[in-house]
Structure 1
Amino acid sequence: MNQKIILAILLSGTMALSSCKTNKSVAAKSATESSKSKGSDDGMKAYDKVITKEAKTDEGLFKVHQVKDKYYYEIPNNTLKKDMLLVSRIAQIPSNLGGGYMNAGSKTNEQVVSWERFQDKILLKVKSYSEITRDSTAAITNSVKVNNYEPTLYAFDIETVSKDSTATVIDVTKFFSSDIPALSGLNSRLRSTYKVRNLDSDRSFINSIKSFPENIEVKQDFTYNASEPPSNGSVGSISLQMNQSMILLPEDPMQPRIYDPRVGFFTIDQIDYSSSALKADENTYIRRWRLEPKDPEAYARGELVEPVKPIVYYLDPGTPENLKEYIKQGIEDWQKPFETAGFKNAIIAKDAPSPEEDPEFSPEDIRYSVVRYVASTTRNAVGPSVSDPRSGEIIESDIIWYHNHLRSYRNRYLLETGAANPSARTLNTDPEEIGEMMRQVIAHEVGHALGFPHNMAASFAYDVEDYRDGDFTQENGIAASLMDYARYNYIAQPGDENIRFVRQMGPYDHYAVNWGYRVIPNASTPEAEVETLNKWIMEKAGDPKYKFGRQSSSFDPQSQTEAIGNDPVKASTYGIKNLKYVAKNLPEWTSDTTNDYDDLEELYGELLGVWNRYVGHVVTNVGGVNEDLKKPNQPGMVYSNVDKETQKESVEWLNENVFSTPEWLIDPSIVQNIDYAGYAETMRAAQARHLTNLLSLDRIGRLLNAETVNSDYYSAINLFDDARKGVFAPNGKLDIYERNLQRAFVDHMSYLMTGEMQRGRRGGDYYDVNQSDVRSIVRGELNSLQSTLRGKMRGTNDTITKFHYQDLLARIDNILNPEK
């Protein structure tokens, strides 16, 4: 063969081989890049280069590594896409944040999250169970998904993978030290109020990250630059400590129980699009702990059975020794209601184990619910809980008790029961009596943590005169439920014997625990339980001891906070009679024994608050609407107006006890020893508050509305006429209190001529004031008042009184003729 041809063939083969190698190299590079884009671990740092020998590692749900000032999560791949609950709480709070209505322990956000891998990143996705399809095979499932796209809270670069490739490592330092609104604790309103500019990164840092078997706890110290902070204004900043709890939710959600508004429970809401009805189902489920009997067969036979997993509360190691027994009693007082539901030893109180007994124990571990004793001057106690939004299952709760809260109860005990209860007439309340008060407060907060809201109708279940019966009060306490805001028996009078003055567990608590927690055998779906649940309600229907009254029902005199008894007029009459006795003796019980006026000043201020509450209970009768929650198959209406006679009696009571100056509240032996001035202003503010509340737009609107459904009603005109006659009853020389109150009346008339109704959350009280009868009624009242004042002015020779009437007439003229 020709050598040139042979050489050409050899060269061609070499070039072909070279081209083949090149193409394979390009293909391999392309495959590698493609693999990386799909989440390959190639090209990442070696594990030991990220998690170095300097790392401090905490084992738990995730491994948490601290390397110098950086924190890393080592997330097991088998936890990716699993539902977790991220709960944000304020761990430590600056003074007066939120106007004093926020406390350490306040929850600021709660959201379901999941960790998901996307290419070379780990995404923290926010999930929602408010809109679901219970049937995951339904065609509409895809529509729900694409119309509820899950937002990404944060995207993390993957730093490395574990040596066995079963976990992914990310750096969470920036995430937990940045100003992320979902975690910050300062909402837009607070930021606006305090003129927050930005997070000061130099004064913000991760305090600690701890990993436990079912949760991870992060503490962050945040400092924000703010022009108008709530306290320590010279610093120009707000500092607070946040706690982030990330909790692994149960693999198998608990079977939900369908909510019925006739029994009070905290709830979760879901919209189910897999319904066969003509619209999506709006499902509401109660929040409760998962209690399952150890022996289902014995339980079904009606025997008391222990739960598989009881509810256990541990006492904070910092709890004072002298208070521990009362806290434990308050927790375990709920054992009896749970026995009504078929469970024994369902809730247990324990001391926290010592480090020697259990070195791993921590109050922050989600496996442990704790009654935390907080060394704080805050006067409060709270019972928050964490629940699974998929089912309503309560997973954990911490009861928070603030040290100074007992002082509030001592003060209220003295003021509300001191007239009839000699043992309350002291600043040094008997330790056993204080302990009993603490026991009941702890039990009340545990009730919240068990799923129960306030039941404000429970104190309306008993007749007013029953509170003066020793045998009755010893057996029944002062309300049908511990979950009412009924703290003390302020009705009992001096000389009444064997009276119980402090609240206790009641029949409604047994009923509600049974309704919410009793296992219904063979009911495998929430819907299968409804017939039995409704039967239990109907068995108690009509008995006021088993009625639930919502705290939000501000229009309902049956469901009032801090009230007791089924007749607000009679109850407040007894209460004020007792307050007069207390006011007369207050110096003797305080300053005379301490040789100091501080306690007298504090208690006098709180006495005014107690008086205001008693008055407010009567005001609610006027324009009052009774709310009796019921189903259509029950007789009677859900909403009914308070009868005409009761409303008229209430206004007459206000004229006598409030608008006719209560001079006993301005006792010189008190006021002249605690302040150099301001007594007239104190009384003016108190009287004006109740007058404007009585003549409020929402109350007038309810009276106008009553005309449409009731032929014999107390009208808005009746209200104005009765109130005006009370306020302007005095003749001759007027004192400063009478003059102040009359000016308050006229000024409020000016507001009613121009004010507008604001739409509330439920919208029920909203109406168009301009096109209602309000302006015409006010105009008519002012015209009548002009004639009355002219006559009164002619009948007085007192100079200041005459000037006062001239001023009122001028004010009325300006209201009626604003353009003159």
Structure 2
Amino acid sequence: MNNVLSKLLKVLPLLILMAQLSPFDAFSQQKSRPSINDFTAEMEKQDGFYPLYWDENTGKIWLEITALDQEILYYPSLAAGLGSNDIGLDRGKLSGAHVVSFRKSGKKLLMTESNYDYRAITDNKMEKRAVQESFAESILWGFEISAESGNHYLVDATEFALQDAVGAIQSISRSNQGNYKVDPKRSAIYTPRTKAFPKNTEIEATITLEGSKAGSYLRSVTPTPDAVTLRMHHSFVELPDDGYTPRLFDPRAGVNAVSFYDFATPINESIVKRYIRRHRLIKKNPGPAPSEVVEPIIYYIDPGTPEPIRSALMEGTSWWAEAFESAGFINAFQVKLLPDEADPMDIRYNLVQWVHRSTRGWSYGGGITDPRTGEIIKGKVTLGSLRVRQDFLIAQGLIARYLETGEIEDEAMLEMALARMRQLAAHEVGHTLGLPHNYIASAHNRASVMDYPHPSVKFKDDNSLDLSDAYAVGIGEWDKVAIQMAYAEFPSGADEQTEISKMVESYRKKGLDFLSDQDARPTGSAHPKTHLWDNGESAVDELDHVMEVRKYVLDRFNEKKIKMGQPLATLEEVFVPIYLFHRYQVEAAAKLIAGVNYQYTLRGDGGEAVKPVSAEEQVRATESLMATLNPKALAVPHRVYENIPPRPYGFSANARETFQGKTGLTFDPLAPAHVAADLTLSLVLDPQRASRLVAQHAINENLPGLVEIIDIMIKEISNFNMPSEIEASSYEQEIKRTVEKIFLQHLINLYKSKQASEQARSIARYGISKLEFSIQPGGKEQNAHKNYCQKLINQMDREILDPVELMSPIPTPDGSPIGSESYEWLSPICTEQ
């Protein structure tokens, strides 16, 4: 008893104290946290949007969350990249933007992303709640609260900052370059670029990925492939205020969009809503009349860009000022050099950034957009530095004549390359202003910088080549129209959709139009004027012209295309883009076959929705395309292949930039013909195009069908080297046999294609039989060729489900990017060659 009493007396003071406190007070005292000031007393503080605290002793970064349940914008980016175009982890690459808020749950703050793909635009709170609770949110991170003061909470952001926020591991794995993971021991906060500003807070970290089985792309750009060190950046940004008014999307307007489901929409209207993407631009004097702006759009050029390229980028970017002036905004668009003290990742700077890679690659324009409204918050352009060298190489192949004296005449070649850089800067900045590609512009007198331009080469009066107009100068007429439709202010009380429709009617009367990626990129696409890297109103006329330019250059091509002292074998790198100078115009001309003219049309627009290309133009296109297969056109001049020896020590062949022949170390004179013939024939006999030929002839017998096109092809190819094979060289005869084998291969591919219609496949079998009979017997080489083709056809009939491959394919040297192309062309980010 005494022992029990003694113990009770010892705890009595504590029991009395607990009795004086409420249960909640007792629990609160046990769980109390230090104040933010006390906890961070020994740390270095940066005040800003979300204040930052750096603990030098522990290497930790702390983030002060100043408001709960308040939406902000968060996005990760890559401050220092990998340098590989194939893997795609570029310096300055932006990842997607997330609208997030911090929600408190016990000792945690949950960083929660709102789902703005599904909304209810209504004042009814319960209707909004029904949508919110029907679709998932995403909790991006859970932070443990370490200190608090009032409604402010301090969290340790170190582990969050040291994650692979940009998906670098997935990018490496997706490109089959190895298996990697983040190594925390070799990762740390990068304090020079960790800063807090009034409207944004930036945290940067050095991230090391450790791994194994590194692929060749990765090995080529890392000093130690099992340790890949990048810098990843995290941006926390104040969302724009409610002063921005969204503009509804119109497919005819040539402006990108954000889209979402609005479940508050009346049943008789579309549930999908679309807003265009554009910068906020406010006039000092509202209305359609010209006016100064409250705050101009300013683009900054990366000072790491060397001259004279830097000046070219500034000039090309500045072209957009004219478009905004045309839309009624005075001094609304400006270009400056990024200040030394500015952080390229800072949300406040629209940036044109210069990026290096180990190989030539894409440039692209994108940025950060408020997904709620479509307002562009930050425009960001990435320009690959090797792009300009590829343009210079094309100009070198066209006009270079380096003399034995060592005299160098680079001025015209350099000017063509810089002209393209001006156009490229304007193009990519156009994407960041909200504009997509417009691939029909080249058929309308180069009406837009948002097309992909091929250099326009003309003949002078003395029959020499003229590159002075290789690329257009200044903004195009379409670009002014697009900026007007995106940004122009309409009269008070006017209906925006009515005003846009008036603009559409106006630009179409001027002969302008807009067609984008889905109409141009697929191999079997149908519009006859919509393509990448083409020129001219008539694709066939331009193909004939390009073939003339190509012949002119090939007839004069020699060792003077490279400088004195260069290995002679490197002549091939200059030769490749000239030999394939016609490649894009071939693609453009092929679209006339089973081609269809159309526009982005709304009901009530008037005019024909669909109009097929005339029979005459389809036949003419087929004949011009077959001319590209003529052995005389495909033959490599003797002076070229006789001057390309095997590669010297230290100068291995670049598989991307040279022809990969089958003769070992020596230049294979048949490989270029193989590549060029395969290109033309694969386009003409594309399964979708073949199926459209069948369909168009079934609907209108006056239009050619697949049978007629195949007959023309067989006739033209059979007539090569006529009237007598004796008049053709053995080399040209061998090229003809190469063409026939590839023709047969593509007919077999069509016959077996599950993407082709049944009748297209049936007609392909007809073509195989007709081609077989057209191959005439002759000498030993010709008989061997005929017997080989016959045996493969027999094999095809016996084993229809098995692949029949006449020839191992020779890869085509890289074309795009000759300076862009999009691998993400349906997203707000564009990629261009």
- TM-score normalised by the chain length of structure 1: 0.83
Q: How does 1:586-625 map to 2 (within 5 A)?
A: 586-587=557-558, 589-591=560-562, 596-597=567-568, 600-625=571-596
Task: Select 1:541's aligned residue among 508, 518, 530.
Answer: 508
State whether structure 2 residue 788 is matched by structure 1 residue 800. Answer: no
Secondary structure of 1:113's aligned partner: strand
1:294 corresponding residue in structure 2: 284
**1:174 aligned to which of 146, 152, 159:** 159
Secondary structure of the corresponding residue to residue 383 of structure 1: strand
Q: Which moved more, 1:391-400 or 1:304-313?
A: 391-400
- Give the Cα–Cα distance (whole angstroms) in 1 for the partners of residues 510 and 737 of structure 2: 48
2:470 is equivalent to residue 501 of structure 1: yes
Corresponding residue for residue 451 of structure 2: 484
Q: 1:242 to 1:668 in 2, by over 3 A?
A: farther
Unaligned residue ranges in structure 1 (runs of 5+) = 1-13, 356-360, 420-424, 463-478, 758-768
Q: CA deviation at 1:320?
A: 3.5
Residue 612 of structure 2 corresponds to which residue in structure 1? 641
SS in 2 for 1:746: helix
1:28 aligned partner, one-letter code:
S
Show the counterpart of 2:405. none
Q: Counterpart of 2:76?
A: 88
Trace 1:345-384 onto structure 2 (pairs within 5 A): 345-353=331-339, 361-374=342-355, 379=360, 381-384=363-366
Which residue does the alignment assign to 1:410?
Answer: 392
Per-residue deviation, residues 504-531 of structure 1 (Å, max 9, x unmatched): 222111111111111124359xxx4111
Distance 1:212 1:19, change over 3 A: closer
Contact 2:366–2:432, Cα closer than 8 Å, also in 1:
yes
The 3-state SS of whatever aligns with 1:183 is coil
Q: Supply the distance in 2 between the matched residues of 1:436 and 1:323 (Cα, whole angstroms).
A: 10
Of residues 339, 351, 360, the one that matches 2:325 is 339
In 2, distance between residues paired with 1:592 and 1:145?
66
CA distance in 1, matches of 2:606, 2:142: 57
User: Could you state the TM-score of these two structures normalised by the residue count of structure 2?
Assistant: 0.82
- The answer to whether the 8 A contact 1:493-1:574 is kept is no
SS in 1 for 2:96: strand
Find out whether 1:28 has 2:22 as its counterpart.
yes
Match of 1:9 in 2: none
Q: Give 1:650 shift.
A: 1.3
Shift of 1:65: 1.5
Higher Rg? 1
Structure 1's 212 and 666: CA in aligned 2 closer, same or farther, altered over 3 A? farther
Aligned to 2:195: 210
1:553 matched to 2:519: yes
* Distance apart, 1:205 and its partner CA: 3.4
Residue in 2 that maps onto 1:250: 240
Q: Secondary structure at the match of 2:676?
A: helix
Q: Secondary structure at the match of 2:582?
A: helix
Question: Which amino acid letter does the alignment assign opposite residue 452 of structure 1?
Answer: L
| Counterpart for residue 779 of structure 1 | 765
- The equivalent position to 2:135 in structure 1, one of 148, 162, 176, is 148
In structure 2, relative to structure 1, the CA distance for the partners of 1:586 and 1:239 (3 Å cut) is farther
Contact in 2 for aligned 1:195/1:226 (Cα 8 Å): yes
Contact kept, 8 Å, 1:264 with 1:453, in 2: the verdict is yes
- The one-letter code sitting in structure 2 at the alignment partner of 1:549 is L
In structure 2, what is the Cα distance between the partners aligned to 1:806 and 1:664? 24
Higher RCO (C-alpha under 8 Å, 6+ residues apart): 2
Pair 1:582-2:553 in alignment: yes
Structure 2 residue 714 is the aligned partner of structure 1 residue 724: yes
Cα deviation, residue 150, structure 1: 1.3
Cα deviation per residue 1:697-728 (whole Å; 9 max; x = unaligned)?
A: 12112222324543422211122222233334
Per-residue Cα deviation, 1:633-659 (whole angstroms, up to 9, x for no partner): 122333332222211111111222225
Map of 1:704-723 to 2, 5 A cutoff? 704-707=694-697, 709-723=699-713
Percent identity reads 23
**Match in the other structure for 2:265:** 275
Counterpart Cα distance in 2 of 1:404 and 1:491:
26
1 CA distance for matches of 2:134 and 2:589? Answer: 50
Rounded to whole Å, the distance in 1 between the matches of 2:100 and 2:638 is 60
Tell me, in whole angstroms, the C-alpha distance in 2 between the residues paired with 1:492 and 1:266: 39
State the match for 2:816 in structure 1: none
Give yes or no for contact 2:440–2:530 (8 Å, CA) kept in 1.
Answer: yes
Quote the offset at 1:430 in angstroms.
6.8
Pairwise CA distance, 1:276:
1.4
Counting matched residue pairs gives: 742
Return the alpha-carbon distance in structure 1 between the equivalents of residues 530 and 744 of structure 2. 32
- What secondary structure, in the 3-state scheme, does the structure 1 residue paired with 2:380 have? strand
Measure, in 2, the Cα distance between the counterparts of 1:333 and 1:370.
Answer: 16
Measured in 2, the distance between the counterparts of 1:260 and 1:279 equals: 16
Q: Is the 8 A contact 2:279 2:376 kept in 1?
A: yes
Equivalent residue letter for 2:195 = K
In structure 2, the CA distance between the partners of 1:712 and 1:86, relative to structure 1 (3 Å rule), is farther
* 1:748/1:404 CA distance change after superposition, 3 Å: closer
Deviates more, 1:69-78 or 1:616-625: 69-78
Q: For residue 348 of structure 1, give the secondary structure of its aligned residue in structure 2.
A: strand
Other-structure match for 1:470 = none
* CA distance in 1: counterparts of 2:414 and 2:587, whole angstroms: 32
Shift of 1:222: 3.5
Distance verdict in 2 for CA 1:625–1:32, change over 3 Å? farther
Q: Which moved more, 1:65-74 or 1:677-686?
A: 65-74
Equivalent residue number for residue 401 of structure 1: 383
**Separation in structure 2 between the aligned mates of residue 708 and residue 239 of structure 1, nearest angstrom:** 60
Contact 2:416 2:468 in 1 (8 A): no
The equivalent residue for 2:492 is 522
**Could you say what secondary structure the match of 1:541 adopts?**
helix
**Partner of 2:747: helix, strand, or coil?**
helix
Amino acid at match of 2:48: G
Q: CA RMSD in A?
A: 3.3
Question: SS where residue 251 of structure 1 aligns?
Answer: coil
- The reply on whether 1:201 has 2:178 as its aligned counterpart is no
Secondary structure of residue in 2 paired with 1:235:
coil
Answer whether contact 1:417 1:501 (CA < 8 A) is retained.
no
- Look up the SS of the partner of 2:282 in the other structure: coil
CA distance in 2, matches of 1:502, 1:166: 59
Residues 559, 643 of structure 2: 8 Å contact kept: no
Superposition deviation, residue 146 in structure 1? 0.6
For the Cα contact (< 8 Å) 1:417–1:489, is it kept in 2? no
Q: Determine if contact 2:83/2:357 at 8 Å carries over to the other structure.
A: no
Q: 1:743 aligns with which of 732, 741, 744?
A: 741
Distance 1:343 1:121, change over 3 A: same
CA distance in 2, matches of 1:367, 1:585: 53
Are the counterparts in 2 of residues 378 and 403 from structure 1 also a CA contact under 8 Å? no
Q: What residue in structure 2 maps to residue 813 of structure 1? A: 794
Question: Structure 1 659/132 Cα, relative in aligned 2: closer, same or farther at 3 Å?
Answer: farther
Amino acid aligned to 1:700: A
Q: 1:238 to 1:642 in 2, by over 3 A?
A: farther
What is the 5 A alignment of 1:128-143? Answer: 128-137=115-124, 139-143=126-130
**Which residue of the partner structure matches residue 112 of structure 1?**
99
The separation in 2 between residues aligned to 1:664 and 1:592, in whole angstroms, is 25
Q: Deviations over 1:320-340 (max 9, x none)?
A: 454554333223221221111
Q: Secondary structure at the match of 2:551?
A: helix
Contact 1:332 1:348 in 2 (8 A): yes
Partner Cα distance (2:699, 2:607) in 1: 14
Instruction: State the one-letter code of the partner of 2:621.
Output: S
In the alignment, which residue of structure 1 is the partner of 2:623? 652
- Tell me the amino acid that sits aligned with residue 259 of structure 1: F
Q: Which runs of 5+ in 2 are unaligned?
A: 1-7, 402-407, 647-665, 803-833
Partner amino acid for 2:266?
Answer: S
One-letter amino acid matched to 2:783:
K
Q: Does structure 1 retain, via aligned residues, the 8 Å contact 2:44–2:53?
A: yes
**2:376 partner SS:** strand
1:25/1:602 CA distance change after superposition, 3 Å? farther
What CA distance in whole angstroms lies between the structure 2 residues aligned with 1:212 and 1:493? 57
